[in-house]
C-alpha cells in the first residue's frame, strides 16, 4: 500500500493526465455555470492544499496572494471570490501559470509531507484534499465532455477513447430484500466524507431491486411510447422543466436523419443500445420508473442491496433527498462548509461512474445533485415494493 506521499503524487499526476489531450483553449471556457473551466479545476484543487495545509506554515510564501480570489470555490469563510458564473471570463492566470502553481505547491507539499503525515489532523486533511481532488477529476471529465460536446464542431477528446475499466457482468432479474432493521453509513477506519459518517439503523420494508441498469434500448422505448409528453409520469417541476427546456431525449443525444447518435469522448457516434442510459436528470429517471410502473430505490435500500449487484458505471439516482444522517455534525472551521451546507433541494446519487477515479467511491458514498442536472454520468436502477 502506498504511503501518503505516494498517494499524493499518484492523485496529483492523474489530474494532469486527464488534461493532457486538451488544447489550451479547452482549459478556459465555461459554457454553463455548472461547468467549470479545466484550468480552474487544476488551480482550485491546488488552492485547497495551499490554503488548508501550507498557508500559515513557517517560511511558506503564497504563490500569488490574489489566487485565493480566483480559485476559492465556495468557502465563504476564506474570503471573497470570483462568482461561479464568471470563471469562464478569466483568461488569466494562464494555463502555464496554473501548471507553475501546481508545481510550486507540489514541491512544498512533498518536502513537508513527512511532517504533515506525522500529525493526525494534517494527515487527515491531506487525505481529504486527495479525495477532493478525485472528485474534481470526475468533474474534469464531465466538464471536458460538456465543453467539447457542445462545440458545433464536436471535437473528440481522444479518438481512441474506450470505456474499458468497468464492463460489468450481469446477474439478471430483480433481487429481493426482506423487511428488517439494517445498518447504513460508514463504519470502518479508512477515509470517508462527513456526510456518510455515522453508521445507524434504518427499518426497511421488503422490496426488490434490479440487478441491472436501464439500457439505452429500454429508454428508447420510453421515448417512442411518448414518455416525454405524458404528464402523468412527471413531477410538476419536472414537467415544467421538460416543457421549458424542450427536453426530448437524454443529454448528448441527436436524432439525425432518423438515426440516434450521441456525443462520446471519442466523438459523435451511433447510439450503442446495450449501454446503460446516461446523462439523464432525476426528473427523467423518475418519469421512466413511473412509466414502467416501478420506482427508484431509496438510498438506504440501495446501500443494503448493493452487495448483491455490480455497480460503478453510472451514478444512480435514488428517490432520497440529500439530508444529514442522525448525529451529523459539521466540522468546525472552513472545512465545515464541505458538505453540510448543501443539504437541501438535492437528490442523492449512489454508486460511481465510468469516469470516477479508481478506488474513489464505496458502498456508503453519497453523491448529490439538483434534480434537473444531466451532465454527470447518471443512470437508472429500478426498484419495487413488495406488499
345 interacts with its own copies by CB under 8 A? yes
324 interacts with its own copies by CB under 8 A? yes
User: Which residue shows C-alpha cell 415494493?
Assistant: 385
CA distance 81 to 83: 6
Cα 28 to chain centroid distance, Å, stands at 21
Please choose, out of 50-58, 108-116, 125-133, 334-342, the segment that lies near its own copies by the rule CB under 8 A.
Answer: 334-342
Which three-class secondary structure state does DSSP give residue 85?
A: helix
CB of 173 to its own copies, least distance (A): 22
Strand 378-379 versus strand 367-369 pairing type: unpaired
317 interacts with its own copies by CB under 8 A? no
CA distance 181 to 204: 6
Judged by beta carbon, residue 8 or residue 40, the one nearer its own copies is: 40
- Give how far Cα 148 sits from Cα of 21, 61, 82, Å: 12, 37, 24
CB of 310 to its own copies, least distance (A): 26
What DSSP letter does each residue of 3-65 carry, written as one string?
A: -HHHHHHHHHHHHHHHHTT--GGGGT--SSTTSPPHHHHHHHHHHHHIIIIITTSTT---S-T
- Given 118, 165, 323, 358, the residue binding its own copies (CB under 8 A): 323
CB of 242 to its own copies, least distance (A): 12
Site track 49-88 with its own copies (rule: CB under 8 A), x = hit: -----------------x--xx---x-xx----x---x-x
What sections of the chain are H helices per DSSP? 4-19, 38-49, 67-71, 95-118, 120-149, 216-224, 236-245, 282-291, 299-305
Measured between its terminal Cα atoms, the distance across the chain in Å is 47
Judged by beta carbon, residue 24 or residue 57, the one nearer its own copies is: 24
Judged by beta carbon, residue 88 or residue 250, the one nearer its own copies is: 88
Q: Decide if 26 contacts 125 (C-beta within 8 A).
A: no
CB of 164 to its own copies, least distance (A): 26
29 interacts with its own copies by CB under 8 A? yes
128 interacts with its own copies by CB under 8 A? no
Cβ-based neighbours of 23, under 8 Å, separated by 6 or more:
none
229-258: which residues touch its own copies (CB under 8 A)? 231-232, 234-239
Judged by beta carbon, residue 47 or residue 239, the one nearer its own copies is: 239
CB of 148 to its own copies, least distance (A): 8
Task: Phi first, then psi: give them for residue 168, nearest 5 degrees.
Answer: -105, 140
Judged by beta carbon, residue 159 or residue 231, the one nearer its own copies is: 231
- Given 126, 128, 147, 265, the residue binding its own copies (CB under 8 A): 147
292 interacts with its own copies by CB under 8 A? no
158 interacts with its own copies by CB under 8 A? no
Q: Which residues bind its own copies (CB under 8 A)?
A: 23-31, 39, 66, 69-70, 74, 76-77, 82, 86, 88-95, 147-148, 150-153, 155, 181, 200-203, 205, 231-232, 234-239, 282-283, 286, 295, 319-321, 323-324, 326-327, 336, 341-345, 347, 371, 385, 387
Amino acid at each position: 500500500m502506498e504511503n501518503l506521499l505516494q498517494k499524493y503524487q499518484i492523485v496529483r499526476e492523474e489530474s494532469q493526465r486527464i488534461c493532457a489531450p486538451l488544447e489550451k483553449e479547452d482549459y478556459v471556457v465555461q459554457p454553463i455555470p455548472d461547468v467549470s473551466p479545466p484550468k480552474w479545476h487544476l488551480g482550485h484543487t491546488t488552492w485547497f492544499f495551499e490554503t488548508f495545509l501550507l498557508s500559515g506554515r513557517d517560511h511558506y510564501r503564497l504563490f500569488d496572494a490574489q489566487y485565493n480570489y480566483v480559485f476559492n470555490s465556495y468557502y465563504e469563510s476564506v474570503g471573497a471570490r470570483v462568482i461561479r458564473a464568471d470563471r469562464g471570463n478569466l483568461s488569466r492566470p494562464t494555463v502555464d501559470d496554473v501548471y507553475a502553481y501546481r508545481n510550486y505547491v507540489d514541491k512544498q507539499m512533498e518536502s513537508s509531507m513527512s511532517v504533515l503525515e506525522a500529525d493526525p489532523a494534517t494527515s487527515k486533511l491531506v487525505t481529504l484534499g486527495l479525495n477532493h481532488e478525485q472528485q474534481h477529476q470526475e468533474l474534469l471529465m464531465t466538464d471536458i465532455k460538456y465543453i467539447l460536446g457542445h462545440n458545433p464542431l464536436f471535437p473528440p477528446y481522444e479518438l481512441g477513447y474506450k470505456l474499458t475499466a468497468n464492463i460489468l457482468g450481469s446477474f439478471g432479474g430483480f433481487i429481493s430484500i426482506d423487511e428488517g432493521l439494517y445498518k447504513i453509513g460508514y463504519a470502518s477506519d479508512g477515509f470517508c466524507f462527513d456526510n456518510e459518517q455515522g453508521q445507524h439503523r434504518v427499518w426497511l420494508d421488503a422490496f426488490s431491486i434490479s440487478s441491472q441498469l436501464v439500457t439505452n434500448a429500454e429508454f428508447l422505448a420510453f421515448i417512442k411510447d411518448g414518455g416525454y409528453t405524458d404528464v402523468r409520469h412527471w413531477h410538476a417541476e419536472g414537467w415544467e422543466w421538460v416543457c421549458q427546456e424542450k427536453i426530448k431525449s437524454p443529454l448528448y443525444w441527436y436524432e439525425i436523419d432518423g438515426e440516434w447518435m450521441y456525443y462520446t469522448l471519442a466523438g459523435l457516434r451511433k447510439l450503442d443500445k446495450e449501454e446503460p442510459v446516461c446523462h439523464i436528470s432525476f426528473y427523467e429517471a423518475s418519469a421512466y420508473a413511473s412509466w414502467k410502473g416501478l420506482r427508484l430505490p431509496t438510498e438506504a435500500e440501495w446501500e443494503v442491496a448493493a452487495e448483491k449487484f455490480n455497480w460503478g458505471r453510472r451514478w444512480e439516482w435514488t428517490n432520497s433527498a440529500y439530508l444529514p444522517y442522525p448525529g451529523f455534525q459539521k466540522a468546525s472551521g472552513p472545512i465545515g462548509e464541505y458538505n453540510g451546507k448543501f443539504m437541501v433541494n438535492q437528490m442523492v446519487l449512489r454508486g460511481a461512474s465510468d469516469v470516477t477515479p479508481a478506488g474513489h467511491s464505496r458502498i456508503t458514498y453519497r453523491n448529490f445533485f439538483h434534480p434537473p442536472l444531466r451532465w454527470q454520468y447518471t443512470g437508472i436502477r429500478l426498484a419495487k415494493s413488495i406488499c
